[in-house]
Amino acid sequence: MSSIGNAELACHRPPDTEPATLVHGTASSHAPTVAFIGRPNVGKSTFFARASGRYAEAANVPGTTVGVDRRAVRIDDRAAVLVDLPGALSLTDRSEGLPAFWQLLLGAAPTAAVVVVDAGDLARHLPLVLACRDLGIPIVVAANLADEAESRGVEIDVGRLSQLLAAPVHRTVGRRGSGVLAAVSEAVRQASDRSGTGRTTRRRTVPANPYSPTSVRRVTDLATRLARGDAPAGAPPELLSALAAGRVSAIGAATVMLADILEPERWAIAQRWATQVERRSAVRPRLADRLSRQITAPWPGLPLFALVAAASLGATMAVGTFLSGILAAAWSATVSPVLTGVVGTLVPIPTLAATILWGLDSGLFAMLSVGIPFVLSFYVMLAVLEDSGYLASAAVLSDRVFNALGLPGRAAIPLLAAVGCNVPAIYGTRVLDTRRERLLASFLIVLTPCSARSAVVIAALVPFAGPQVALLAFGVVALIGVSAGLAANALVPGRQSPLVLELPPLRWPIARQVATKAWFRFRSFVTTATPVMLASSFVLGGLYETGAIRPIEDAIRPFVTAVLGLPPVAGIALALAFLRKELALQLLLVLAVAEYGLGASSLAAFMTPGQLFVYAVVAAVSVPCVATLATLADEFGWRPALAVTGATLGLALSAGALIARLAGIA
């Protein structure tokens, strides 16, 4: 057991040192693969991060590890590949062939598995252990969250559990890393023993078989048929190919196919075994558990929800504004003059030089001053709310309200993100279950003014019409969004699936996990949005510098003046804002100066407050920016993306026309 000794020592290292050496580059194909399996909320991703020395993108919201994370590591001088699988819920859902969990597990082709269970809730976690054990691969069980179990008065007899399961069981606390390496190195050892000596040492579970004789007979009969190549009709093809490739034994495949009859037995066995190994004592409920009950209760849950939402939005905006100021000042003071000089020297044609500067200088400036600060601060805030477990409670509180819009309460998360930037918000709809929900949520996201569009509304209205009018404009935009959401829910075919969600307990977020998660998401936002921002700024510059905007202006002039009651330059500014929303105002001013001379350097010089109101509402609602459109197309395809875009344009123009009539300007 020397490796366990080493591992236990390793747990006393400072928490920020990496417990296992990461092997860079591709892992050797001979390295054994250890799969990490567990139900949602069992702290598996934290556990995996401890084991592999890094933090996966995961949240304290059930089922948020999307996809499969693979890490090549060295533990106790053995190379291994660790694979983190998403939280497992249903092993019997056959609606779409083989349940997703089995598909991912078989695809990972593990040589051993670490099954992470909640030490305080074995009755609900042991069925998964039994199912994995039935596959025929060696398993190591991590009785995780042992500290939470203890504070709830639950002690488990690890030795007895190990006997019952015929598998090693380790008591672990993933957050602190205690016991983690012991469990993982044992799994790696089992995996490498197995891959080293072939299949002769494979642990079969026959001696500890807890199933009824009928079930055992059905499994062995089916396994015999499968081994003969005589698979029954309707056998999942993925399973048969895994069987053919030797990734699963015939018995293992039979237990997967017969999950319907085995699962009820597994749950009954789990219940029985849990009572045998658990010792419960009455303790005062933990503070976290008492708080958890409070935050989902209508009182004080609802006022608290309003408080948390306002505080997080306020903090995001405050930090974002602060960062934006610093970044913008730094850019203007250092990079911008150099860039202007270099481009001016290298590019002899003035129009081309100016166009390039539109792209490089003002495009990157926009990313630094609008995109990056607000999105980064939002992601940090979101990660804190997620990891604390509060977000799931908020989703439950707001579920019924969002149901009216055809959405579950979870949709609040991406919608809140939309206030910062629509692009990450649309990617964030992946937390929703169905395409219908994702599409409806994305429609609402596009109708939610992002920081750039909010800035346009504020800058257009606060100085020239007062803050109350700006607030009124936001109210009108919200009204448009809610009505459109209600209409879309009625029009888009399909129904929303009702909620069944396991609430995670409240936990202190781990700073490093929060930082890593925010960073992963932020990085993907930057890599998506920056190229689009650069390209669209370049096109915008080209149109403006070459005078190509004139024909566009002439084409939309009658509509803009007659229907919206706006000056013609406002129309072209609105149209070009498709490329860069936050430029809707700057463009308007630049174009107005070009059109009417320097006297038009203030909005008030050529537009009335009524016109500004119409302009602000249309700019806030109409057509998402090009980056948002590209994201929509990426996620849903071009047709839905264009339909959403068309709908927002229609809404914005009708609302604009209506307001113009009411205000008497058209």
Partner 1 sequence: MSNSELSTQDWTLADLPIGVSARVVALDANRHTSLAGHGIRPGVIVEVENDAPFGGPRIVNLGFARLAIARAVALTIHVRLAPADAADGSR
Query: Cα(568)–Cα(595) distance, rounded to whole angstroms?
Result: 10
Structure tokens at 444: 């609402």
For the window 152-181, what string marks contact with partner 1 as x by the rule CB under 8 A?
Answer: x-----------------------------
> What are the angstrom distances between the C-alpha of 9 and each of 2, 3, 19?
11, 10, 10
Which ranges of 62-208 does DSSP label H, i.e. alpha helix?
100-108, 122-134, 146-151, 158-165, 180-196
For the window 354-393, what string marks contact with partner 1 as x by the rule CB under 8 A?
Answer: ----------------------------------------
Q: How many residues bind partner 1 (CB under 8 A)?
A: 40
Closer residue to partner 1 (CB): 122 or 135: 122
Amino acid at 6: N
The neighbour count for residue 118, using CB atoms within 10 Å, is: 22
**The one segment of 89-97, 197-205, 307-315, 571-579 that binds partner 1 by CB under 8 A:** 89-97
CB 428, CB 417: distance < 8 Å:
yes
CB 2, CB 25: distance < 8 Å:
no
Shortest approach of partner 1 to residue 397 CB, angstroms?
6
Query: Cα(398)–Cα(416) distance, rounded to whole angstroms?
Result: 13
Shortest approach of partner 1 to residue 406 CB, angstroms?
14
3-state secondary structure of 508: coil
**Ranges within 251-270 binding partner 1 (CB under 8 A):** 263-264, 267-268
Query: Cα(485)–Cα(445) distance, rounded to whole angstroms?
Result: 10
Shortest approach of partner 1 to residue 387 CB, angstroms?
18
Closer residue to partner 1 (CB): 246 or 498: 498
Structure tokens at 161: 């559990």
**Ranges within 557-596 binding partner 1 (CB under 8 A):** none
Bridge partner residues of 81 (DSSP): 33, 72
CB 152, CB 120: distance < 8 Å:
yes
For the window 426-465, what string marks contact with partner 1 as x by the rule CB under 8 A?
Answer: ----------------------------------------
| 173: DSSP letter | B
Q: Which of 89, 109, 353, 472 binds partner 1 (CB under 8 A)?
A: 89
**Ranges within 467-506 binding partner 1 (CB under 8 A):** 498-503, 505
Shortest approach of partner 1 to residue 581 CB, angstroms?
34
Q: Which of 9, 22, 245, 297 binds partner 1 (CB under 8 A)?
A: 297
Closer residue to partner 1 (CB): 380 or 396: 396
**Main-chain phi, psi angles of 382, to 5 degrees:** -60, -40
Q: Which of 53, 301, 344, 568 binds partner 1 (CB under 8 A)?
A: 301
CB 113, CB 140: distance < 8 Å:
yes
Residues 6+ apart with CB under 8 A from 347: 353, 356
Q: Which of 19, 38, 43, 120 binds partner 1 (CB under 8 A)?
A: 120
**The one segment of 88-96, 105-113, 178-186, 525-533 that binds partner 1 by CB under 8 A:** 88-96
Closer residue to partner 1 (CB): 503 or 579: 503
Shortest approach of partner 1 to residue 571 CB, angstroms?
42
Query: Cα(536)–Cα(630) distance, rounded to whole angstroms?
Result: 12
Closer residue to partner 1 (CB): 499 or 552: 499
Shortest approach of partner 1 to residue 291 CB, angstroms?
12
Structure tokens at 345: 């020297």
Q: Does residue 552 touch partner 1 according to CB under 8 A?
A: no
Shortest approach of partner 1 to residue 174 CB, angstroms?
17
Query: Cα(564)–Cα(572) distance, rounded to whole angstroms?
Result: 13
Q: Does residue 289 touch partner 1 according to CB under 8 A?
A: yes
**The one segment of 117-125, 161-169, 177-185, 321-329 that binds partner 1 by CB under 8 A:** 117-125
Query: Cα(469)–Cα(609) distance, rounded to whole angstroms?
Result: 9
**The one segment of 290-298, 448-456, 612-620, 633-641 that binds partner 1 by CB under 8 A:** 290-298
Structure tokens at 228: 């003969």
Q: Does residue 92 touch partner 1 according to CB under 8 A?
A: yes
Closer residue to partner 1 (CB): 297 or 478: 297
Closer residue to partner 1 (CB): 172 or 398: 398
Q: Does residue 272 touch partner 1 according to CB under 8 A?
A: no
**Main-chain phi, psi angles of 87, to 5 degrees:** -55, 135
Q: Does residue 401 touch partner 1 according to CB under 8 A?
A: yes
Shortest approach of partner 1 to residue 502 CB, angstroms?
5
Q: Does residue 90 touch partner 1 according to CB under 8 A?
A: yes
**CA atoms within a 13 Å half-sphere pointing along the CA-CB vector of 620:** 33
Closer residue to partner 1 (CB): 61 or 458: 61
Q: Does residue 634 touch partner 1 according to CB under 8 A?
A: no
Bridge partner residues of 70 (DSSP): 83
Closer residue to partner 1 (CB): 88 or 549: 88
Q: Does residue 123 touch partner 1 according to CB under 8 A?
A: yes
Angle CA 364–370–371, to nearest 5? 75
Q: Which residue has the tokens 């300007």?
A: 665
Amino acid at 340: T
Question: DSSP states of 366-382 as a string?
Answer: HIIIIIHHHHHHHHHHH
Q: Does residue 93 touch partner 1 according to CB under 8 A?
A: yes
Query: Cα(346)–Cα(337) distance, rounded to whole angstroms?
Result: 14
3-state secondary structure of 634: helix
Q: How many angstroms separate the most distant Cα atoms in the chain?
A: 93
Q: Which residue has the tokens 């149209």?
A: 575
Q: Which of 272, 400, 523, 661 binds partner 1 (CB under 8 A)?
A: 400
Closer residue to partner 1 (CB): 6 or 271: 271
Which ranges of 287-407 does DSSP label H, i.e. alpha helix?
287-296, 298-330, 336-346, 350-357, 363-366, 372-388, 390-397, 399-403
Closer residue to partner 1 (CB): 155 or 263: 263
Closer residue to partner 1 (CB): 369 or 398: 398
Which ranges of 16-73 does DSSP label H, i.e. alpha helix?
44-52
Bridge partner residues of 78 (DSSP): 75
Q: Does residue 186 touch partner 1 according to CB under 8 A?
A: no
**The one segment of 130-138, 286-294, 519-527, 544-552 that binds partner 1 by CB under 8 A:** 286-294
Bridge partner residues of 67 (DSSP): none
Q: Which of 209, 276, 296, 524 binds partner 1 (CB under 8 A)?
A: 296
**Main-chain phi, psi angles of 22, to 5 degrees:** -85, 135
Q: Which of 399, 437, 545, 582 binds partner 1 (CB under 8 A)?
A: 399
Q: Which of 57, 69, 121, 545 binds partner 1 (CB under 8 A)?
A: 121
- For partner 1, the binding residues (CB under 8 A) are 89-93, 95, 120-121, 123-124, 152, 263-264, 267-268, 271, 274-275, 289, 292-293, 296-298, 301-302, 396-401, 409, 498-503, 505
